Every structure is written in structure tokens, then in C-alpha cells.
Homo-oligomer: A and B are copies of this chain.
């Protein structure tokens, strides 16, 4: 799960400081149950840390992505949003309406990846299996 202290440790080890803006972005993402774009993170972040600057949000998101603490979400129309990394390991359901993300275990996927890569000679480093649709509550 999203543990701030654990994430802080990852940052420190990589030689980065744990500053207020960075902590703020981490907290905002940790509290989200779906994905958020830079503008939404800024808005929420300013409730915690009013001095937060827009630029720091962008820079922090880049940093978190680089460190593997956050990930970009590739929804059909929205490719500029982020979620904390532990919320999406690469295979998840996205609700088209409310944006909620539900991660699911990827049983069978590794198998498929292996056979496909052997067949085509690709060396695969990452995967993205995203199912788009409506979550139970948005179906009503």
C-alpha cells in the first residue's frame, strides 16, 4: 500500500530531498481512488499546502514516474493523468464515467506475453492491459 515513509525512503536513496511540495503530491495521490491530472492534483494539493506551485506538480510527477512511485494512466481520451504506482501494476479496469481504477491480478497474462514475444522476437519490458467500461455503480 501507499506508505509515505516508504516512498520517502525511495526518494532519499535516489538522492532526492523530501520537500513539502513533493510530500503534498504524494499525499494527494495516496488519497485518490482513481487517477488525477496535474490541474486536479494542484487544486487538491493547495488545500494541504497552499503555497504549492503548478510547476512543482509537473516536476514532481515526472520524478515520481521516474522513481516508479506513480504511473501515467492511458484512458481513451485522457492520457495526462497519474495514479500512484501501487494502484496499477499494468493491468486494471478503468471506469469511463467516474474514472475509478480497479486493479486486478494478471493471471494468464505472463503466459500470453511469453508466447507472443517468442513468436515475434520482441524483448518485452513492460505491459499495459487496460479494460475500459463502466463500474458497477455507474451502470445504473
A residues apposed to B, CB below 8 Å:
72, 74, 76, 79-80, 93, 95-96, 102, 104, 107-109, 111-113, 116-117, 119-136, 139
Chain B residues near A108: list those with CB within 8 A: 108, 111-112
Report yes or no: B131 in contact with A119, Cβ–Cβ below 8 A: no
Report yes or no: A76 in contact with B130, Cβ–Cβ below 8 A: no
A76-B126, A93-B116 provided; 10 other pairs, C-beta below 8 A?
Answer: A72-B79, A93-B122, A95-B122, A102-B122, A108-B112, A120-B135, A122-B134, A123-B134, A128-B131, A129-B129
Report yes or no: A133 in contact with B139, Cβ–Cβ below 8 A: no
Partner of A122, one of B80, B116, B124, B136: B136
Chain B residues near A130: list those with CB within 8 A: 127-129
Chain B residues near A104: list those with CB within 8 A: 116, 119-120
